[in-house]
Amino acid sequence: MKIYFNPSCSKCRNAVSQLDEKGQDYELVQYLETELSTSELSEIIDMLQDPLTDLVRKDQNFRDLGLNARDYVSKEAVIELLSEHPKLMQRPIIVKNSKASIARTPEKVDELAG
């Protein structure tokens, strides 16, 4: 199991805490410290079980950059955006058994840890 993690994100910290409580083994990838390559982003997208558009955070940072969600519906556009602005990647992302999921809820983390 691999977790794409941002230590300042409470959802990420909660997911890791849940996995620790369950005694799960995982690899932690701090994607803001170790920049993801376009091929790594492509692999995550190819494994993603959630809609592609959910991978992009449409938060205040997104709006401050003057971005429009309609411009980020293709794999190529999402990869380009997340390569340039990794903070806009939704998190945590958990990869297990060649499937990637955005695990923002405790229920989703439990499902993936199962």
Range of the domain at 19: 2-113
Name the domain count of the chain.
Answer: 1
Those residues whose C-beta lies under 8 Å from the C-beta of residue 81, and which sit 6 or more positions away, are 56, 67, 72, 88
CA-to-CA dists, residue 20 to 14, 27, 46, 48, 104, angstroms: 10, 12, 27, 23, 16
Q: Examine the residue annotation and report whether 9 is marked as an active-site residue of this protein.
A: yes
For position 25, which CATH number holds? 3.40.30.10
Residue ranges, the chain, pLDDT below 70? none
pTM for the model stands at: 0.92
What pLDDT shows up at residue 97? 94
Residue with tokens 């992009």: 56
Extended strands (E) in 48-104: 93-96, 99-102
What pLDDT shows up at residue 32? 96
What pLDDT shows up at residue 114? 76
- To the nearest whole percent, how much of the chain has pLDDT over 90? 96
- Active-site entry in 1, 9, 29, 45: 9
